[in-house]
Amino acid sequence: MASIETFRAGPPAPAAPVPEPRTEAALPDPAAFRCEDRLTGLLAFALAAERGEPAAPEAVSRLQREAEAALCDHALRYLHNNVERLRQEAVAEQLGRLRRPPGFLRLMAANLAAMALVALAGGWLAMHPETLAGITGLLAG
């Protein structure tokens, strides 16, 4: 399976500082981050806890928008990276539904039978010249 690599021009980004472990008292209120989509709310809460932001209403809505954008980007990358695998599975499933193609001997027998039928038709026309003349007249116009 092919992998997707992104090219970033410019110098490498500096390493992010390791945040200090936070105590339970420093975490924002998780109830403030509840929304329709539970995953978006959880990710917004995690972003707030990681950054140490308070649970102010404008910060909560901004973090929820960031979380939604991050989840959408992740879903798009995940689908994009798995398209080839999905295509291969679809092709394998479709090929599984098809019958096996005829083998070499079956194709040779079919060709021999077709040549025998043509030879029989040609022999019958050779024995009936009036039919051959009628067909030739029809083809001539």
Same domain, 129 and 74: no
The closest of 33, 37, 38, 36 to 57, measured between CA atoms, is 33
Same domain, 35 and 67: yes
Instruction: Name the DSSP class of 52.
Output: T
- Per the CB < 8 A criterion, the answer to whether 84 and 1 are in contact is yes
Instruction: Note whether residue 6 is domain-resident.
Output: no
How many other C-beta atoms lie within 10 A of the C-beta of residue 43? 20
Instruction: Note whether residue 17 is domain-resident.
Output: no
In this predicted structure, the answer to whether residue 74 has a pLDDT above a threshold of 80 is: yes
In this predicted structure, the answer to whether residue 140 has a pLDDT above a threshold of 80 is: yes
Assigned token pair, 91: 């092709």
Same domain, 64 and 129: no
Same domain, 67 and 46: yes
Quote the number of domains for the chain. 2
Same domain, 31 and 61: yes
Q: Which is more confidently placed, 136 or 20?
A: 136
Q: Which is more confidently placed, 127 or 30?
A: 127
Same domain, 75 and 128: no
Range of the domain at 129: 104-140
Report the alpha-carbon distance of residue 45 to residue 60 in Å, rounded: 8
Say what the pLDDT of residue 9 is: 53
Q: Which is more confidently placed, 125 or 10?
A: 125
Same domain, 48 and 74: yes
Q: What is the pLDDT of residues 6-57, one digit of tens each?
A: 555 556 556 666 666 555 557 787 788 888 888 888 888 988 988 888 888 8
Residue 68, judged by CB atoms within 10 A of its CB (0-12, 13-18, 19+), counts as: middle
Say what the pLDDT of residue 57 is: 86
Say what the pLDDT of residue 114 is: 98
Same domain, 86 and 53: yes
Instruction: Note whether residue 19 is domain-resident.
Output: no
Instruction: Note whether residue 86 is domain-resident.
Output: yes
SS3 for 54-85 is CCCHHHHHHHHHHHHHHHHHHHHHHHHHHHHH
Same domain, 33 and 91: yes
- Mean pLDDT over 66-93 rounds to 91
Say what the pLDDT of residue 13 is: 59
Say what the pLDDT of residue 117 is: 97
Same domain, 132 and 68: no
